[in-house]
Amino acid sequence: MHEEVQQLRPDDDGAVHSHWASRTPQRTRPRSYRYLLDLDLDLAEELDVRMRLAARPAATVVTFELDVGEVKLSEWLAAAAPGPGVLILDGVLAVNVRVGDRVASELLGPGDLVEPSPPAEEELLTCNVGWRALGAMRFAVLDAAFAERVGPWPQIMQALLRRAERRTHGLNIQRAIASQPRLEVRLALLLWHLAARWGRVEPGGIRLPLPLTHQLLGRLVGAERPSVSHALARLARAGLVTGQRDEWHLHGNLRDQLGLMIEPVGGRVERLVDAVASRGPG
């Protein structure tokens, strides 16, 4: 399978279609073979200009696109193993992990790496992982052959490792948010946490253009959908969070919002504000 990939070369400004993954899900749109450094500019900036020109033809990948809805990444991840995994180039992906009758979710976006799952025999609990594309998405397959080709430029793999660490850090923040006892506080912290990456500044606050259903929000903060709906209604009546499904608006700032929900005792509001990344939305 890797030999077929290595025989293909993309055009300078486009791609050639590939039959590389005959076992891939039927809902994928046409696959192509591309220069990764043209698609991921942050990754390209890890190299100086001379190194970038040398690495560009080696850092080639199979890319594929998926439509909105439930998707099957397991076959693509199996094809990538034992390489780094599947890299998200465009779109937002919800990772849904089910243990028993409960589902916890995580949101991933451009630059995030979905890594192959460990062998099932290493787990003591039955865990089912599913993926849902929240919009049209594009991915790149980083397999073992890719890792070998970019070996002369360790900066690329180091950058991917840092991204995996960033994902773990964000997930740890989300876990801490989900441990807050009051649901309105959990939702406010989560939305501001997401706004640090996906938010856009607007007059009076932040616009968060993410398709977040009440069910998905519940899975992100550890709550049932009806409880999330009631908590969001209370936040809306207080003028703190408005919107629905595809677009949310966070009014004011996080410190003021938490100040209205929490008694200002022992600096707790300040400690909660510190939980959200200091980097503001773009």
**Of 254, 235, 256, the residue nearest 244 (C-alpha):** 235
Name residue 88's amino acid.
Answer: I
Claim to verify: residue 23 and residue 114 sit in the same structural domain: yes
Provide the pLDDT for residue 277. Answer: 47
Residue 281 in domain: no
Number of domains, the chain: 2
How many residues appear in the chain?
282
| In a shared domain, residues 150 and 235 | no
197 in the same domain as 81: no
The model carries a pTM of: 0.82
Q: What residues form DSSP beta bridges with 85? A: 142
How does pLDDT run across 104-129, given as a tens digit for each residue? 999 999 999 999 877 666 667 778 89
Query: Tokens for 252?
Result: 């004011």
Beta bridge partners of 201: 206
Residue 237, domain extent:
180-273
Residues 164 and 190 in one domain: no
Domain-terminating residue out of 108, 141, 175: 175
- Phi, then psi, of 264 in degrees rounded to 5: -75, 70
pLDDT, tens only, 25-64: 445 555 788 999 999 999 999 999 999 999 999 999 999 9
pLDDT digits (tens, 9 = 90+) for 167-196: 999 999 999 999 999 999 999 999 999 999
* Domain annotation covers residue 242: yes
**End position of a domain, from candidates 175, 195, 227:** 175
Q: Is 282 within a domain?
A: no
Name the helix (H) or strand (E) containing 139. Answer: strand 137-142
Asked whether residue 278 is domain-assigned, the answer is: no
Rounded percentage of the chain residues whose pLDDT exceeds 90 = 66
CATH number for the domain including 92? Answer: 2.60.120.10
Given 126, 160, 175, the domain boundary residue is: 175
Query: For 122, which DSSP code?
Result: G
Confidence at 76, pLDDT banded by 50, 70, 90:
very high
Which tokens hold the place of 241? 């969070």
Residue 224 pLDDT > 60: yes
Residues 8 and 101 occupy one common structural domain: yes
Tell me: do 40 and 108 sit in the same domain.
yes
